[in-house]
Amino acid sequence: MFDRAEALALLQLGDSAFPAGGFAFSWGTEGLAADGMVSDRDDLDCVIADHLAQRWASMDRILLRRAWRASDVAAITAVDRLAEATTPSAEMREGSRRAGRALLGVWVKLAGPLSVSYRACVSADARLGHLAVVQAIAGRDAGLGLDAAELVSGWTLITGLVSAAVRLGLIGHIDSQRSLARARALLADLLTETPNDDAMPSSFTPFIDIAVSRGPLRHVRMFTT
């Protein structure tokens, strides 16, 4: 049955106006554009597809599901450490932690009980607070089901990439809607397959990782990643 309450929660949490700091991250889009590898909507759609299929579905989603199933804060911490260990790029690790900590901060202010409990762990260890793990925590605090939490995770990645492209002047607002529609279909397709509970997180997005890693060498940039 259609759950109106959960649908409304999805609209709220997946809205770009939700104050989680996502506007600060382009996840490689800025660097790829600077290197001449992204210049139009077709290029952007390829980047989004790589992010979704080669990183989000095989890594972030796996970590989110593990954190969702974690029985206590100690178990969540173990998933967070796995996220740190399986992210080879230092810049991607830092970006993931910064994005995750920003989202956690919002939910601490909203008095999410699990978020409040987990903040002490994150405050004590600079390696904790990865985005996918915090998305699971936020989803649980928001009263979402796992399927809904996965939707929010994938959708906010898509909207973040498209928003970055618009702000960089790569595409306009009409093309942004075309990209969102295409990515929405891909996300829905990816979500039809359920990962095994013991699946290990992995990713293979070399061009994106290189673009993010080159960020600190650029004299001017708009985004953290």
Nearest to 46 by CA among 57, 35, 56, 38: 38
Lowest mean pLDDT among 16-30, 35-49, 90-104, 159-173: 16-30
Provide the residue type at 107 as one letter: W
Rg of the chain taking only CA atoms, in angstroms: 17
- pLDDT > 70 fraction of the chain, expressed in percent and rounded: 98
Check residue 59 and give its pLDDT: 97
Per-residue pLDDT, 4: 86
Contact 183, 48 (CB under 8 A): yes
pLDDT value of position 211: 87
Beta-carbon neighbour count of residue 157 at 10 Å?
24
Q: How much is the pLDDT for 2?
A: 67
Distances (CA, A) of 116 to 38, 104, 112, 152: 40, 8, 6, 21
Give the pLDDT mean for 81-94: 93
Rounded Cα gap, residues 58 and 202, in angstroms: 6
**Predicted TM-score (pTM) above 0.85:** yes
Residue 181 has pLDDT above 70, yes or no: yes
User: Residue ranges per domain, the chain?
Assistant: 38-204
Q: Of residues 24 and 130, which shows the higher confidence score?
A: 130
Confidence band, pLDDT 50/70/90 cuts, at residue 220? low
Distances (CA, A) of 146 to 21, 150, 201, 220: 23, 6, 18, 39
Strand, coil or helix: what is 19?
coil
Cα 2 to Cα 9, 143, 185: the distances in Å are: 13, 16, 20
Q: Which of these, 203, 212, 37, lies nearest to 132 by C-alpha position?
A: 203
pLDDT at 1: 61
Question: What architecture (CATH level 2) is domain 38-204?
Answer: Orthogonal Bundle (1.10)
Mean pLDDT of 131-156: 95
